[in-house]
Each structure stands twice: as C-alpha cells, then as structure tokens.
Amino acid sequence: MFYSLGRNVLYPLSHALYRPTIEGKENMPRTGGVVVASNHVSFIDSFAIPLASPRQVRFLAKEEYWTGPGVGGALRKGFFTAVGMIPVNRHSTSAAQESLDKALEVLRAGDAFGIYPEGTRSRDGRLYRGRTGVAWLALTADVPVVPVGLIGTEEIQPVGARFPQLAKVTVRFGEPIGVERYRGMPAGRARRELTDEVMRAIAALSGQQMADTYNDVPGSAA
C-alpha cells in the first residue's frame, strides 16, 4: 500500500520535473526474482531506478533513516518505506552478511532487488570493478541479472550539494543475463566471470570508462 501510494505521487512529479528518458523497460521481467545491477553516481540512483522500472525494485538503506525523531523523522521513515527501501544496520559486525541475507529474502519472495556492484558511488565518473556479491545473489537465488545504466543522475544532486537540481536523466535497462551457463563452474570462477559480464553490460549502457580497480569505500563521514 505504501509503495503504491508513494509511486502514485512521486512518479508523475519526477517525470514532470525531470522528463527522464527511459529505455529498455521491456527487458525487466514482469514476475519472479531478479537482481537489478546498476552503476552508481548519485544518492538519487536508488530512487531513479524504482521510479523508472515497470515493477518495484527494492534497495537497502541505512536504518538511521527509520529512526529520526519528530515530524521530520516520521516523514523520512514514511518516504523510505513508501519507495520500498529495506533498513540495514551498517555498523553491525555482520552487516555484509545481513545485507546479503535480506537481499536473498527479497529474491526468493519473487521480487526485484537493486544492487550497485561497485559498492559505493563513483566520484570520478568511471565504472569501477564489480564486487562479486551481485553474482553470489544471482547464482544462489538462481535468478537473472538485469544491468542498468544511469546517465545524468549525478547532476541532480552532485556530491556535497544540499538540494536537488534539474538535470537531464537517462535510465537504460539492458537485456537480462542468465546464470545457466555458469552452473558447473568452480564457485569462485563463476562469481567472478558473471560479475565481469554484468559490469561490461553496465558500461555499454552507461557509456562510462571502465576502471581496472575497485572503488574505495569512503569513511563513515562520507
């Protein structure tokens, strides 16, 4: 109910303000579990994808968004709940595994889960090497991966900006990548090769230069 209400309000508002170009919506499976893997250049990305997608896509978000005091805290909690975000304790010693477990719950329930294989936002515009959690999820849940290329979201809320700005945004959904051909491979090799295939697909959609290194995870204050 909260998601439907939030989408009915946010979808027309966002499209009226930003007039995004959305390509490849037909590539998103309408039913069943699916991993939605995207490049990551802005805080706005986790809202741009669900608003462009023909079905709900759920992302993880730090649980502090659900615990703020007063009216502002209640509004923020309602907003993040409305867009389908899943709270996660980022400071837990087992945060990484808890995040994967929550993602698996979403996929095994037949829903779509969004993930950024780079791990964190790109500060220089390059597409960094993907971490293999995306492949672990797809292989463990036996679901396809839909690559997504985001263009222009970094202009809506640049790093350090307090308020959103108007900008031209493009969201491109690529063809699903199945896991069938990776069955029977050694687990580590399968995860690495599937992840690399996903990152190549994202690069083709976003037009970003691929980096040969992993993106540095910023400190807690970043």
91 has pLDDT over 90: no
Better-scored residue on pLDDT, 220 or 139: 139
Helix (H, G, I), strand (E, B) or coil at 155: helix
Cα separation of 181 and 165, whole Å? 43
- pLDDT, one tens digit per residue, over 149-183 is 999 998 887 666 677 677 789 999 999 999 999 99
Residue 53 or 162, more confident: 53
Q: Is residue 15 part of a domain?
A: no
Number of domains observed in the structure of the chain: 1
Indicate whether 68 belongs to any domain.
no
Q: Is 99 a residue whose pLDDT tops 90?
A: no
Domain-located, residue 173: yes
In a domain, 119, yes or no: yes
Going through the chain in order, the beta strands assigned E by DSSP cover 21-23, 34-38, 57-58, 60-62, 86-88, 112-115, 145-151, 170-173
Give the domain range for residue 153. 21-59+91-206
Tell me, yes or no, whether 154 lies in a domain.
yes
pTM of the model: 0.85
- Is position 34 within any domain? yes
Task: Look at residue 8 and tell me if it is in a domain.
Answer: no
Residues in the chain: 222
Residue 217, domain member (yes or no): no
pLDDT per residue over 189-210, tens digit each?
Answer: 999 999 999 999 999 999 999 9
Closest by CA to 36, choosing from 20, 18, 48, 21, is: 48
With cut-offs at 50, 70 and 90, classify the pLDDT of residue 221. very low
